[in-house]
Chain A
Amino acid sequence: MPDIRDFHAYPDEHGRFGRFGGSYVAETLMAPLAELTEAYLRLREDPAFIAELDRDLTNYVGRPSPVYFAERLTKHVGGARILLKREDLNHTGAHKINNTVGQALVARHMGKTRIIAETGAGQHGVASATVAARLGLKCVVYMGAVDIERQKINVYRMKLLGAEVVPVTSGSKTLKDALNEAMRDWVTHVADTFYIIGTVAGPHPYPLMVRDFNAIVGREARAQLLEQYGRLPDALTACVGGGSNAMGLFHAFLNDRAVRIVGAEAAGLGLASGHHAASLAAGRPGVLHGNRTYVLCDDDGQITETHSISAGLDYPGVGPEHAFLKDAGRAEYVGVTDDEALEAFHLLCRTEGILPALESSHAVAQAIKLAREYPKDGLVLCNLSGRGDKDVHTIAAREGVEV
Chain B
Amino acid sequence: MNRIDRRFAALKAAGRTGLIPFVTAGDPSPEHAVALMHALVGAGADLIELGVPFSDPMADGPVIQHASERAIAAGVGLADVLGWVAQFRQQDPDTPVVLMGYLNPVEIHGYVRFAQEAVQAGVDGALLVDCPLEESAVLAPLREAGLKQILLAAPTTAPERLAHLCKAAEGFLYYVSFAGITGAARLSTTDIAARVADIRSHASAPVAVGFGVRDAESAKAIAGFADAVVIGSALVERLAGATSAAEIAQRVQAFLAPIRTALDAR
Q: A26-B176, A285-B107 are in contact. List 18 more A-B contacts (CB 8 A).
A: A24-B135, A26-B129, A26-B152, A27-B152, A27-B157, A27-B176, A31-B157, A32-B156, A170-B69, A171-B56, A187-B59, A187-B181, A287-B107, A287-B130, A289-B58, A290-B58, A297-B104, A301-B78
Is B77 on the interface with A (CB-CB < 8 A)?
A: yes
Question: Closest approach, in angstroms, between the C-beta of A288 and any C-beta of chain B?
Answer: 6
Q: How large is the interface on A (under 10, 10 to 19, 20 to 34, 35 or more residues)?
A: 35 or more
- 28 A-B contacts (beta carbon < 8 Å): A25-B130, A26-B59, A26-B130, A26-B132, A28-B176, A31-B158, A31-B161, A180-B58, A187-B179, A187-B180, A188-B179, A188-B184, A190-B156, A285-B107, A287-B104, A287-B107, A287-B130, A288-B104, A297-B55, A297-B104, A299-B108, A300-B77, A300-B105, A301-B104, A301-B106, A301-B107, A302-B77, A303-B104
**Given A24-B135, A28-B154, A188-B180, A301 and B54 contact (CB-CB distance below 8 Å):** yes
Residue of B nearest to A16 (CB): B135
Chain B residues within an 8 Å CB radius of A23: 132, 134-135
Is A376 on the interface with B (CB-CB < 8 A)?
A: no
CA distance A146 to B150 in the complex (A): 37
CA distance A309 to B43 in the complex (A): 51
A23-50 interface mask toward B, CB cutoff 8 Å, 1 = contact, 0 = none? 1111110111010000000000000000
Is A231 on the interface with B (CB-CB < 8 A)?
A: no
Residue of A nearest to B129 (CB): A26
Is A390 on the interface with B (CB-CB < 8 A)?
A: no
Is A14 on the interface with B (CB-CB < 8 A)?
A: yes
Is B109 on the interface with A (CB-CB < 8 A)?
A: yes
**Would A184 and B61 count as touching, CB distance under 8 A?**
yes
CA distance A271 to B106 in the complex (A): 26
Is A132 on the interface with B (CB-CB < 8 A)?
A: no
Question: Closest approach, in angstroms, between the C-beta of B82 and any C-beta of chain A?
Answer: 12
Residue of B nearest to A170 (CB): B65
Instruction: Please give the residue numbers on chain B whose beta carbons come within 8 Å of chain A beta carbons, in ascending order.
Output: 53-59, 61-62, 65-66, 69, 72, 77-79, 102-109, 129-132, 134-135, 151-154, 156-158, 161, 165, 176, 179-181, 184
CA distance A287 to B101 in the complex (A): 13
CA distance A288 to B105 in the complex (A): 10
**Would B54 and A24 count as touching, CB distance under 8 A?**
no
**Given A28-B156, A30-B132, A286-B104, A303 and B59 contact (CB-CB distance below 8 Å):** no
Which one, B54, B62, B181, contacts A302 given CB within 8 A? B54
Chain B residues within an 8 Å CB radius of A187: 59, 179-181
Is A102 on the interface with B (CB-CB < 8 A)?
A: no
Is A144 on the interface with B (CB-CB < 8 A)?
A: no
**Would B58 and A184 count as touching, CB distance under 8 A?**
yes
CA distance A301 to B157 in the complex (A): 29
Question: Closest approach, in angstroms, between the C-beta of A202 and any C-beta of chain B?
Answer: 10
**Given A27-B132, A27-B176, A170-B65, A297 and B58 contact (CB-CB distance below 8 Å):** no
Interface residues of chain A: helix, strand, loop or mixed (majority): mixed
Which one, B53, B108, B135, contacts A286 given CB within 8 A? B108
**Given A26-B129, A28-B154, A31-B157, A301 and B181 contact (CB-CB distance below 8 Å):** no
Question: Closest approach, in angstroms, between the C-beta of B91 and any C-beta of chain A?
Answer: 27
CA distance A187 to B56 in the complex (A): 16
**Given A26-B152, A27-B132, A27-B176, A183 and B104 contact (CB-CB distance below 8 Å):** no
Question: Closest approach, in angstroms, between the C-beta of B45 and any C-beta of chain A?
Answer: 24
Is A251 on the interface with B (CB-CB < 8 A)?
A: no
CA distance A24 to B176 in the complex (A): 17
Chain A residues within an 8 Å CB radius of B165: 27
Chain A residues within an 8 Å CB radius of B152: 26-28
**Would A34 and B108 count as touching, CB distance under 8 A?**
no
CA distance A171 to B65 in the complex (A): 9
CA distance A10 to B261 in the complex (A): 56
Chain A residues within an 8 Å CB radius of B59: 25-26, 28, 184, 187
Is A22 on the interface with B (CB-CB < 8 A)?
A: yes
Is A176 on the interface with B (CB-CB < 8 A)?
A: yes
Is A295 on the interface with B (CB-CB < 8 A)?
A: yes
Chain A residues within an 8 Å CB radius of B130: 24-26, 287, 290
CA distance A22 to B180 in the complex (A): 22
**Would A302 and B72 count as touching, CB distance under 8 A?**
yes
Interface centre among B56, B157, B158 (most CB of A within 10 A): B56
